[in-house]
Structure 1
Amino acid sequence: MPHSLTRGPFAILAALAAPLAVCAVLLPFRSNIANTNVALVLVTVVVAAAVLGHRLAGALSAASAALWFDFFFTRPYEHFSIAKSADLTTAVLLLLVGVAVSQLAARARRLQVIAISDADYLAQIHHTSQLAQSAVSPTTVIDHVRAQLVALLHLRGCRFEYGTLLGHPARLEQDGSVVLGHKNWDVDRFGLPDENVELRVFSNGRFVGRFMLEPTPGTFPSLEARLVAMTLADQAGATLDTAQYSAHPG
């Protein structure tokens, strides 16, 4: 299902309308169905809204379910009031359980996304590691890592510079933080700085060059992505160290 349908305004409208639609279907059988069974059906609708939509959709669906349960299935009917304490308890539990389940469903979906992202990160690191072991030239690995960094951090561009440090650009550190001047830059809040960011590369503890990252305005690469970027840079550095040893054995 398209992302815009499951995460956008449509998800909110569907979450609000679905409990009403289900209540309309069950209404002709009101005298033959226990209110607790109706509540269980509505909880199922709330879970579906949370799984297919998002956390807010699930919460709104729970509120809608409790509201229409009160209106159609508790006496006096077609009024937003409840005469029996048992029905009041059921309505309150429907709301609370619906909200709780929707939060759990949303969290489970988020963990699944994180797991998929982590698997992709591991695949990138593994691929680069294999390439570093088999590549004839370190340039091949550097070009590969450069392309990975562009995709990983959503960059406009990236280049590799050998040799001495020049200037004082923003810097991506080993812990995934970004330093601009002498202060930490809040990437999660502001995204990467609107200027080149250096990612230093070391070979056996010795500085050998740097990737110059050209950030895309309005992008917010996660801490996990930034840490993977550091790992990829380290693999490029190890390749340069191996190449230097091969050129000057002993």
Structure 2
Amino acid sequence: MLRRPARDRVALAAALVLPPAVCALLLPFRSWMSNTNAALVLVVVVVAVAVLGRRLAGALAALSATVWFDFFLTRPYERFAITKSADIATAVLLLAVGFAVSQLAARTRELKVIAITDDDYLAQIHHTARLVETAAAPDAVIDQVRRQLVGLLGLNGCRFEYGTLIGHPPRLLEDGSITWGRRRWDADRDGLPGQEVELRVRRGGRFHGRFMLQGAPGAAPPLAARLVAVTLANQVGVAFASVSPVRA
């Protein structure tokens, strides 16, 4: 299974390569296949890329699909020009649907809906997301998530640190795994490490702080619970991003 950085690179490459390749495969059929049907085929390509990668890959696939749809499948062929109003409307819809699908796929993956089957997990995410929408400052969201993490992961305690990173404690990653130094900690077999585990809060490439998780003896939260914990931390990042610098 591809790790996240490698998977992102594959998705970006696919966003550039797959749309023109599929358009080239459709060339023998363009004389009798409607452009609407051809656009639907390209939407499937955009969906596949969006599911594999992140928002950027999906958006890039949508843009690439629209450009090569124009070049290969609309008259005049092999030119970046569209003369028929129906083809223009199809190209615009292809671009709009492609962007929308990429955003939905990224949002679904962000919430880990597929991996989370427990209704209580989903309820916790929903409750925190509602709080993010109404909270005037991130502090209320931090306090809510801190309490949720204690119950969710079976912790003895949990605190939030603002500011720069200090030390190299074990870290809970986006995919629910835990690393300690350069090695991966088997949380399913060994439970949480015997010292505090950091769960970083980022948004838009900016570091806002981290939760420090103190596991109870014998605490071994399942992967689904760890993924929910990551999603809740991401909601704190949304809370930071949604307020102005003065209010923050």
TM-score (normalised: structure 1): 0.51
**What are the ranges of 5 or more consecutive residues in structure 2 without an aligned counterpart?**
122-152, 170-193, 203-207, 220-248
Does residue 194 of structure 1 match 2:167? Answer: yes
Aligned to 2:31, the other structure's residue is in SS state helix
* Structure whose alpha-carbon radius of gyration is higher: 1
**Greater fraction helix:** 1
1:35 aligns to what? Answer: 35
* Aligned equivalents of 2:85, 2:27: Cα separation in 1: 21
* Aligned equivalents of 2:168, 2:17: Cα separation in 1: 47
Does residue 220 of structure 1 match 2:200? Answer: yes
Aligned-partner residue type, residue 194 of structure 1: G
Structure ranking higher on relative contact order (CA contacts 8 Å, 6+ apart) = 2
Deviation per residue, 1:140-192 (Å, 9 max, x gap): xxxxxxxxxxxx9xxxxxxxxxxxxxxxxxxx86xx322xxxxxx24xxx44x
| CA deviation after TM superposition for structure 1 residue 105, in Å | 0.8
Question: What is the alpha-carbon root mean square deviation over aligned residues?
Answer: 3.9
| CA deviation after TM superposition for structure 1 residue 2, in Å | 1.4
**What are the ranges of 5 or more consecutive residues in structure 1 without an aligned counterpart?**
122-151, 153-171, 179-184, 197-211, 236-250
| CA deviation after TM superposition for structure 1 residue 76, in Å | 1.0
| CA deviation after TM superposition for structure 1 residue 6, in Å | 5.7
2:125 aligns to what? Answer: none
Aligned to 1:62, the other structure's residue is in SS state helix
2:11 aligns to what? Answer: 11
1:20 aligns to what? Answer: 20
- Structure 1 residues 8, 117: closer, same or farther in 2, change over 3 A? farther
- Structure 1 residues 117, 213: closer, same or farther in 2, change over 3 A? farther
Does residue 71 of structure 1 match 2:71? Answer: yes
1:91 aligns to what? Answer: 91
Please say if residues 19 and 65 of structure 1, whose CA atoms lie closer than 8 Å, have aligned partners that are also in contact: yes
Aligned-partner residue type, residue 200 of structure 2: F
* Aligned equivalents of 1:226, 1:77: Cα separation in 2: 56
- Structure 1 residues 118, 88: closer, same or farther in 2, change over 3 A? same
Please say if residues 195 and 215 of structure 1, whose CA atoms lie closer than 8 Å, have aligned partners that are also in contact: no
Please say if residues 55 and 103 of structure 1, whose CA atoms lie closer than 8 Å, have aligned partners that are also in contact: yes
Aligned to 2:21, the other structure's residue is in SS state helix
- Structure 1 residues 220, 35: closer, same or farther in 2, change over 3 A? same
- Structure 1 residues 6, 27: closer, same or farther in 2, change over 3 A? farther
Aligned-partner residue type, residue 32 of structure 2: N
Aligned-partner residue type, residue 72 of structure 2: F
How many residue pairs match? The answer is 155
Deviation per residue, 1:64-92 (Å, 9 max, x gap): 00000000111111111110111111101
Aligned-partner residue type, residue 48 of structure 2: A
1:131 aligns to what? Answer: none
2:160 aligns to what? Answer: 177
- Structure 1 residues 195, 39: closer, same or farther in 2, change over 3 A? closer
Does residue 108 of structure 1 match 2:108? Answer: yes
- Structure 1 residues 6, 88: closer, same or farther in 2, change over 3 A? farther
* Aligned equivalents of 2:114, 2:215: Cα separation in 1: 18
Please say if residues 50 and 106 of structure 1, whose CA atoms lie closer than 8 Å, have aligned partners that are also in contact: yes
* Aligned equivalents of 2:35, 2:72: Cα separation in 1: 10
Please say if residues 19 and 42 of structure 1, whose CA atoms lie closer than 8 Å, have aligned partners that are also in contact: yes
| CA deviation after TM superposition for structure 1 residue 3, in Å | 2.1
- Structure 1 residues 42, 14: closer, same or farther in 2, change over 3 A? same
* Aligned equivalents of 2:70, 2:89: Cα separation in 1: 11
Please say if residues 35 and 73 of structure 1, whose CA atoms lie closer than 8 Å, have aligned partners that are also in contact: yes
* Aligned equivalents of 1:12, 1:63: Cα separation in 2: 12
* Aligned equivalents of 2:35, 2:196: Cα separation in 1: 60
| CA deviation after TM superposition for structure 1 residue 53, in Å | 1.8
| CA deviation after TM superposition for structure 1 residue 7, in Å | 2.5
TM-score (normalised: structure 2): 0.52
